[in-house]
Structure 1
Amino acid sequence: MATDESLAIHQRPTTTAHTGPLVAPSADRKTSPRDPLKPWRTAGLLLPLVLLALLEALVRSSILPAHLVPAPSTIAETLWQLGGERLARHIGASSARVFAGFGIGTLLALVLGAAMGLSRRLEALLDPLFQALRAIPSLAWVPILLLWMGIDEAPKITLVAIGAFFPVHLSVVAGIQGVDRKLVELGEVNRLSRRAQFTRILLPASLPQIFTGLRTGLSLAWMFMVAAELIAATRGLGYLLSDGRETGRPDLVFGAILLLALLGKLSDSVLKALEARVLSWRDTANAGTSTRGAR
């Protein structure tokens, strides 16, 4: 005779498996939330235009002297009068020097920085020399490079490479040496080879700091390019700066500065977009601003 407990068990309702399509809860559905920073980004794009309009008004009202600070409309007219072909040659010459020097300097910095980051002995040997060379101003390199390499493209590209080398080198060394020790010990526990530890642990963990050094090195590459072209060049934005200074044309000087600012911003934006794509795996505090809202 079945007990009351067994009867109760047999009398429990049975459940059937759900055969229809599974519907995810509304909270789990993918949504495309509105970017809370979009108004601020729009304002950031409009801010330079507002400043230019304010400068135009100050110059037109004679509050600022036009012979010292030309109006933005005058600068635009000067650039227009240069002609698209002539202006493109100057921009192309400067851009080619920057990208060539930045590529060479970055490659050397990545190789030497990785070697010094992995070897404390090599860092102790080379770090005092690199720190001393890093303290030399850009203009101090110009006469040396002109004596060694002449006045062709070689000294200009070399100077740009020097400017890009040191910030990238420092970021690589600091990034590798700043990796969490627990991650390194985890690789040793799993018996990873030195190559596997570098490619799977050290390099991914140091990439954020390396990209910061790359962006800093790119900005310095533009600065060092101007220093090179101010001394010995017949084409380039640095040459336009020098030509405007010698001929007493502030509109040409400010026009070259404006072009440098635009090219520097454009190249930095490209590198920043590459950084966001390569480091999309990061789970940082700013990653959730689109869903939580900006403060």
Structure 2
Amino acid sequence: MDEDYSAGSQDAEREMTRLWRTWRTVFEMLQDRGYEVTEEEVQIPLEQFKAKYSDPLGYPDRNKMKISARPTEAMLKKYTPLPSKTNPNPQPECGTIYVEFCPDVTGVGTKQIRAFNHFVDEQNFHTGIFISQTPISPSAVRLLSGIPGRFCEHFQEQDLLVNITRHELVPKHVLLSAEEKARLLERYRLKESQLPRIQVSDPVARYLGLRRGQVVKIIRKSETAGRVKQADCERASGYENATVETDQVGRPLPSVGPEFRSGQGRSGPELNEEITKALQTSNSAFQNAPTSLSSPHKLSSASGT
């Protein structure tokens, strides 16, 4: 009897610790997107998380785990289109976000997504994030994008167990405003169709909630000392890799090499594979780790990446 209770207690402890890591990554993601979240919410201690979101048996109570956040002034400015003749007073294309953790372990499909969509629409949220423990059905995925004027996304808890943007292999991504995008096109004399593209399924594109037509600046250190490569990527369904190189004071360097033009740069599928391997290594290490972890966001191993 005591052995069963001890095993159950350890299972509850382990599940709470895993969910705490996911919870913190969600708040980091909201913060990185530009929503109003406090540092106390981002850095919530494990014991405080247990006290607030566990049931009487010590297991997570996902029915309590709901988040809403408003965009900051900086985010509103960044998501406001440029004025045009047809739209002289454009409004920000963002708003309050709602995050829900699904309590169902199995059978997550259209029933749960319909309820989620209804709540997002009824409460007039601009964006919704549905987080489940298991994959959802293909029909449920299609249903997520079925509300006009709303942006709904889906993540599995294990997708957010580690914040991939904190990994050393992932360069810094900075979303450009419409004004910054226009200046970029003018500076390099480019058409929008000539900009490099990033896959919709790219892990960082999903993390930042990028939409088609938005442009991000990717900043990384070059293997050649003293240079920084900046890639401006437009989200699209295909993948085409390129980069704009500058020196340390921002002067353009010679045009990019063919390895980027041909789509062989590491910021694409190859990087996705590296991140996936790192996450698998991290998850494997976590399964065998003690329940108390001191560094919830650092990958324990990145061998082979």
Indicate the structure with greater strand content: 2
In our comparison, the structure showing a higher alpha carbon Rg is 1
- The TM-score normalised by the length of structure 1 is 0.25
Indicate the structure with greater helix content: 1
Which of structures 1 and 2 has the larger relative contact order (alpha carbons within 8 angstroms, sep 6+)? 1
